[in-house]
A and B are shown apart, each in its own frame.
Chain A
């Protein structure tokens, strides 16, 4: 369960941004998470309700944009969707593919109130 560590890391970044902008409250935190990031969204949401207590973000909602896995084939160039454990080309079946999206673990934006 490393999702609590992830929440603590988010909180410390959020607090820095809030201070820089002289905000008193953080109302929304927007994340992008891909299935290959190793972060489980339901676990993260659970951990968040614990981690946010007694912080500037104690009321903040976590808005999570779940990113799809998208790959590009090294042989035929086709861009296709893939599953976590089946990252092979949707067109020709080649396994040497390049990940375009799906491992995101990004703090995209924050909404603040002053």
Chain B
């Protein structure tokens, strides 16, 4: 735990500590202990160590989130083809069951590791860390992490990645950002997928989807694309190139990138780990 590294104290809660120290006696004679830690403290901690690991190998890690079947794996397949070796990518696949998605990626000649989450409806930082033992990061520029198809749970778990992408396929309805604000608020990029189907879906208005995204106060870029007919792939690849160069600049400057909305705990760790490098937990990556 990080009681000594101070990573649980933020500007929002430090006054509680000043109000009377860590221990206080309640009326009933019980002992009240101020904790002031993120509810997912251990996950956030693991995530920040994952991020150190990515940064050590200079691999941009991108978390893909969407409902089941919005086209995450198809996008990755099309991306691998479009890149045609320009960038070296690897993929970690998260699904409740089956190796299917990892197999689809391997067929494109790219390394992939499948995480079967069993009953867990999201990936967490520990699962991703385990997966990293099965993936060589050195040869990669970008690691895509395809999260479990779910518009709710994945948003709460920092994986140590650098960028969040939320996909919305045009068959799902353009009001999804208003209905699932947490996951769309976390997006660094919103991808409208399967736009080859737009002619059949008059009720889907890309401008309205973007309007709902802005109402979450999210300035993220929106790109419309189709993995099927290749529409929009060029701006998407350009986005990847540009994020990769931002990332490398950040590393050169001794910093890193964090996803649009990092859970509170991750922000605390970011502050802490960037603030003073040598705080005392010995869980550092030794592989």
Residue B31 contacts which of A39, A96, A112 (CB distance < 8 angstroms)?
A112
B118 to nearest A CB, angstroms? 12
| Chain B residues touching A, range | 35 or more
Instruction: Flag whether A57 is at the interface (Cβ < 8 A).
Output: no
Determine if A2 and B157 form an interchain contact, defined as CB atoms under 8 angstroms apart.
yes
B184 to nearest A CB, angstroms? 9
Which B residue sits closest to A36, measured CB to CB?
B182
Determine if A109 and B33 form an interchain contact, defined as CB atoms under 8 angstroms apart.
yes
Give A23 to B1 CA distance when docked, in angstroms.
18
**CB-contacts of B105-149 with A (<8 A):** 120-122, 124
Determine if A106 and B37 form an interchain contact, defined as CB atoms under 8 angstroms apart.
yes
Q: With a CB–CB cut-off of 8 A, which chain B residues contact A84?
A: 181-182
| Chain A residues touching B, range | 35 or more
Describe B's contact surface by its main secondary structure.
mixed
Residue interface bits A71-114, CB-to-B below 8 A is 1, else 0: 10000000000001111100000011111010111111111111
Residue interface bits A1-40, CB-to-B below 8 A is 1, else 0: 1100110011011001100010100011001000011110
B44 to nearest A CB, angstroms? 9
Instruction: Flag whether B4 is at the interface (Cβ < 8 A).
Output: no
Given A5-B124, A31-B39, A109 contacting B32 (CB threshold 8 A): yes
Instruction: Flag whether B221 is at the interface (Cβ < 8 A).
Output: no
Q: With a CB–CB cut-off of 8 A, which chain B residues contact A103?
A: 261, 263-264
Describe A's contact surface by its main secondary structure.
mixed
**Residue ranges of B at the interface with A (Cβ–Cβ < 8 Å):** 1, 12-13, 16, 26, 30-43, 120-122, 124, 152-153, 155-157, 177-179, 181-183, 185, 212, 214-217, 219, 261, 263-265
Instruction: Name 21 interchain pairs, CB-CB below 8 A, sorted by A.
Output: A2-B122, A2-B156, A5-B40, A6-B39, A9-B41, A9-B42, A9-B43, A21-B33, A38-B153, A84-B181, A85-B177, A85-B216, A99-B217, A105-B40, A106-B37, A107-B36, A108-B13, A109-B34, A110-B32, A110-B35, A112-B31
**Residue ranges of A at the interface with B (Cβ–Cβ < 8 Å):** 1-2, 5-6, 9-10, 12-13, 16-17, 21, 23, 27-28, 31, 36-39, 71, 84-88, 95-99, 101, 103-114
In order of increasing CB-CB distance, the 5 nearest A-B pairs are: A2-B153, A38-B156, A38-B182, A87-B217, A85-B178
